[in-house]
Structures are given as C-alpha cells and as structure tokens.
Amino acid sequence: MAKDIHIRLATGADAPTIAVFGRQTFHDAFAADNHPDDLKAYLDVAFELQRIMNELNDELGFFMLAEHANAPLGYLHIRNAERPDCVGDCESHELVRFYVDRMQIGGGLAHTLMEAGKREAVKRGATSLWLGVWERNARAIAFYKKNGFQQVGTKAFVLGSDLQTDHVMFATLHNDAN
C-alpha cells in the first residue's frame, strides 16, 4: 500500500464523493452477477445523494474514507442500529458498507481501512461488529474471515426485485488501549 494514502472520518461535505464512489464500487463488485435492472434499482436508492447526506449526519454511525491526492480509494460505513437475533451482542455495530477501488484489491488498503474502522467503532462504544455479505461473494467472505469475522447466521437482502441471501458475520473487537 502506498504511504501517501490518508484514512479519515468523512463529513457531510463528502456526500457527493461517497455517492459517486460508492455507486461505482458497488457496481464493479456486483454487475457481472446481477440483472442490470435490479442493480440499477438498488443503486438509484442506496446511493442517492440525499440518502448519503442523511447517513453521514446520523449520530449513530460514521463513514471513513481512504484517499490518495484527494481521490477516494476506499470507504466504510459503520452504525449502531438494529441487529439480527443471531448477533445478540447489544453493543455490536453494523459494518454497513466496506468497499475499495478494484485497483486497490490485494494491496493492503482494505486491511488498513478495516483496522481504522474497528478502532473508531471501539471509541464509539462497540464491543463487536456484524455485517451481511452476499453468500456468493467468496472473495469478501474470505477477506472478512481473515479479519476475524465468523458466520453466525443468514438474512435476506433485496437487490432491486431479487431476493438474495447474505451471510451474517460477527467479530469481537478488542480495545488496544487496555
């Protein structure tokens, strides 16, 4: 990973960047395996600018951006919200989104961004993280396992009109300050 990559908390001013970059990275990750109409329907809702602005302003969550020369290379979104029963831990926060530019995959940025997100979640009171990952996304599942997550259940995910199954994965967080 290049040494001049900066990871920081995102602000409301980053909404346009996250909306465009988030849409692109989601498309890159899932376009080949989904019907174009379903993908477009999902992207038009999930990455609508006002929605991203609202998520950035939600006090129950945060976004982090990884950048080089002010250009986004990756981002994550973590929030403290409702969790599936299989998670259990009341202080578990959801890793809502985690994406890096496809040219960055395998270069160490994803691991560094994950560690930064975990540290920030601990600062905000999280004792664990949970996430949903498409059961057909083997690369992401392997990455999450490598980063301490294990499958604890499944949940439904709707992409456009396509009902899909996500693995629910869970990881205990450690407070490195202790």
Query: Which uninterrupted H or E stretch holds 148?
Result: none
Spatial distance between the Cα atoms of 109 and 107, rounded to a whole number of angstroms: 6
Tokens of 45: 């809702």
CATH 3.40.630.30 fits 6-126, yes or no: yes
In sequence order, the β-bridge partners of residue 171 are 129
Domain ranges of the chain: 6-126
Spatial distance between the Cα atoms of 2 and 23, rounded to a whole number of angstroms: 24
pLDDT in tens, the chain (178 residues): 456 889 999 999 999 999 999 999 999 999 999 999 999 999 999 999 999 999 999 999 999 999 998 899 999 999 998 888 889 867 889 999 999 988 777 778 899 999 999 999 999 999 999 999 999 999 999 999 999 999 999 999 999 999 999 999 999 998 764 4
E strands, 69-161, where? Answer: 71-79, 92-100, 128-134, 150-159
What's the pTM?
0.92
